[in-house]
Structure 1
């Protein structure tokens, strides 16, 4: 059986790790001059290729002067470089039927492109041109400020976005992880172009860059193209530098949830309710147990929440449970949308199901959840984007890369007693209730 690939940040320049994965896929990792990391997964027979350029900086890393900069940069890097206009960047991918986009998280930013394998050289050239040589013009900055404000306004009109943001703020208090990823209108209005550029210069460096590629890719060719593209962007690769280290997963998170109900008034047809608490970190040893617990509680149509609140009582259309991990901590919650007059009853039922899980689960529920998770793991990794994303998160967050077989074995090994113990832990934690809807 393939073995877990351990990842270290202290490897020498040029050091290479390689291991065969499931069904002949080959994963390789190389540290290039300057500390740039290249991480690839070659998948036999796959004609697509997805490239990701990752920087391990997210909204939690902003200092007060740079607040809002991370999300601002996600927009600005598409506005042009010394070699390309914004239209040039868009046309490069449209011309070959590819796609490009970016995502900003609380702990990382990723710029990615998905193309046919033959067009990967173009994707590497364009994406790394954006990352290394962003123009950051004042005119583009002023225009994009308005675009971001519209994006925030759109999110504020979405009760799902609102309730999850308010929930994170309520549970994590003043911790940086409790801040909204996109910032607030006040923050975006206040931040200056100079502050955003300073944030860019500080964090977008060779030692902080991770390039991942998956699908129909050749590792050595990707390394050569990345080296050329980064050098063409003017980054200094001559200085010996070790890659930026991962976050301290044992750093204390002092913000503590206290029992409370937060109500956000919106003129809506439904009330949206979320009940939850502090969850578990991305590297918690119980992550497989949590996935099984989540599947039983609210992960599908056969889950307890769906059956009890929707099927038996007809109180909601949408109901689910979720876990949202980060390096040192996480969030866990249960959500439903219902008629405003039923919000109190639905909130009570959500809490009841959290407590009932602590009384135990059946072998049948365990087996069904394990099958659901196993299927979702395999299906989720059937495309090159998912494989690319898995590599980036392994490098930035986990410090190791499990094969599909190992992930399936880990889920299969979960027991009824482990699920019950974790359920009792969650049920005993202080909860926060958030409601969005009519007064």
Structure 2
């Protein structure tokens, strides 16, 4: 006898709606958040496959596939995929990350059944023709060229590669010109058929909806994929990603500004200190009142854009500071940044700064959930990436538990780590020898 779907209520969130979760016999997980006050609904298919799951020969295949799935299915042409959603005033899109890919649509609540049918159709039943592969190959090569013309974005890829090297986390999500040019339809189709399984997917929907009706519509859309299996396990948190420190990478390029990232290995996604790190990041470079913004832009006028950031994966992480400035000001910007990070590592931050950093965290959590799309994303990421589905109230509570002592401890430990530097601009390869102190 076939297994029956397992449904449970995860949360009755006073700041949101009722969150329910159903696991189908084929391993597909369906999460919804019912918010009756909304008149829209967002629907997404989250696939637990991203660029870190690619071999060097397949670099960029996840992103390539993301493009191709919109080119047509057995039931719909590419034009029909887009026109059916747009005809009801909706929007559909997708994005690829290093550990997952998401395909989504946002529509009026009455049109949610259409969105479910269209998005599920393109995810599980695309045809991937030779002609479409060649068309999208050209599009992706243009996308890579456009990215290379944005040094403020490119420098982050250079920094990530400096830290992670040849590990898949160090490679660009879109792949390289060489890898995209070499990919064949057979390779892409093989990746699609092997990886895009119900057990690897999470369905997330939020808005004015009924959970049972969403489950019924999804089951109908996935009707041909009935092999029973357990949901795929979350990525291991115990693996150790090889990471490098003390790297200086200079990419010589004719640019008006120099673009720099100074940083180090950070914390993985579920590290115990992730909320303290979030508060620290806000204090250092998370807004106009942050230390680095005040020191570099407001007081000295050395850069227009300066901020700190964190990137977190299942088993690795990054912390960095970005600045874009005139080439002649890079050394001064780097010196100020190094001095400020060293000062915070040694002396910590004030209680008032910690409270401000926590307030920014809580504001980002709540204000970031003002639409159904962001709530849908919270469900998808929560199921794919975390061991628990935290309610908004629980997230806020954990932020409140962060103490100044915890933030100072994180600052002392993290900011004392050996730094690496990535620079894009008109500089020689050895221009920054000794820049790390």
Shorter-chain TM band: over 0.9
2:5 aligns to what? 14
2:434 aligns to what? none
Q: 1:363 aligns with which of 339, 351, 359?
A: 351
| Distance in 2 of aligned mates of 1:348 and 1:365 | 23
Q: Which runs of 5+ in 1 are unaligned?
A: 1-11
Does the CA contact (< 8 Å) of 2:15 and 2:393 recur in 1? no
| Distance in 2 of aligned mates of 1:367 and 1:431 | 27
1:351 aligns to what? 338
1:400 aligns to what? 388
Q: Residue by residue, what CA displacement relative to the aligned partner does 1:391-430 show, whole Å, maximum 9, x if unpaired?
A: 1111111121111111111111111111111111122211
| Distance in 1 of aligned mates of 2:57 and 2:309 | 33
Deviation, 1:240, is: 2.2
| Distance in 2 of aligned mates of 1:430 and 1:214 | 43
- 1:22-421 equivalences under 5 Å are 22-23=14-15, 25-231=17-223, 234-235=224-225, 237=226, 239-253=227-241, 255-358=242-345, 359-421=347-409
| Distance in 2 of aligned mates of 1:426 and 1:32 | 42
Q: Secondary structure at the match of 2:26?
A: helix
Q: Secondary structure at the match of 2:119?
A: helix
Deviation, 1:179, is: 0.8
| Distance in 1 of aligned mates of 2:285 and 2:340 | 10
* Stretch moving more, 258-267 or 189-198: 258-267
Deviation, 1:272, is: 0.7
Does the CA contact (< 8 Å) of 1:318 and 1:336 recur in 2? yes
| Distance in 1 of aligned mates of 2:60 and 2:397 | 41
Q: Secondary structure at the match of 1:34?
A: coil
2:431 aligns to what? none
Deviation, 1:323, is: 0.3
CA gap of 1:339–1:24, structure 2 versus 1, over 3 A, is closer
Does the CA contact (< 8 Å) of 1:124 and 1:226 recur in 2? yes
Q: Secondary structure at the match of 2:22?
A: strand
| Distance in 1 of aligned mates of 2:166 and 2:16 | 47
Q: Which runs of 5+ in 2 are unaligned?
A: 428-437
Normalising by structure 1, we get a TM-score of: 0.94
Q: Secondary structure at the match of 2:222?
A: helix
Q: Secondary structure at the match of 1:110?
A: strand
| Distance in 2 of aligned mates of 1:278 and 1:247 | 19
| Distance in 1 of aligned mates of 2:357 and 2:105 | 33
| Distance in 2 of aligned mates of 1:110 and 1:240 | 23
Does the CA contact (< 8 Å) of 1:24 and 1:44 recur in 2? no
| Distance in 2 of aligned mates of 1:402 and 1:352 | 37
Does the CA contact (< 8 Å) of 1:45 and 1:216 recur in 2? yes
Deviation, 1:372, is: 1.7
| Distance in 1 of aligned mates of 2:207 and 2:271 | 29
Q: Residue by residue, what CA displacement relative to the aligned partner does 1:326-359 show, whole Å, maximum 9, x if unpaired?
A: 0001111001111100001101111111112121
* Stretch moving more, 303-312 or 65-74: 65-74
Normalising by structure 2, we get a TM-score of: 0.95
1:7 aligns to what? none
C-alpha RMSD of the superposition: 1.1
Aligned length: 423
CA gap of 1:355–1:244, structure 2 versus 1, over 3 A, is same
Does the CA contact (< 8 Å) of 1:39 and 1:212 recur in 2? yes
Q: Secondary structure at the match of 1:263?
A: strand
| Distance in 1 of aligned mates of 2:86 and 2:111 | 12
Deviation, 1:65, is: 4.2
Q: Secondary structure at the match of 2:342?
A: helix
| Distance in 1 of aligned mates of 2:56 and 2:261 | 30
Q: Residue by residue, what CA displacement relative to the aligned partner does 1:345-390 show, whole Å, maximum 9, x if unpaired?
A: 1011111111121211111111211222211211001111111111
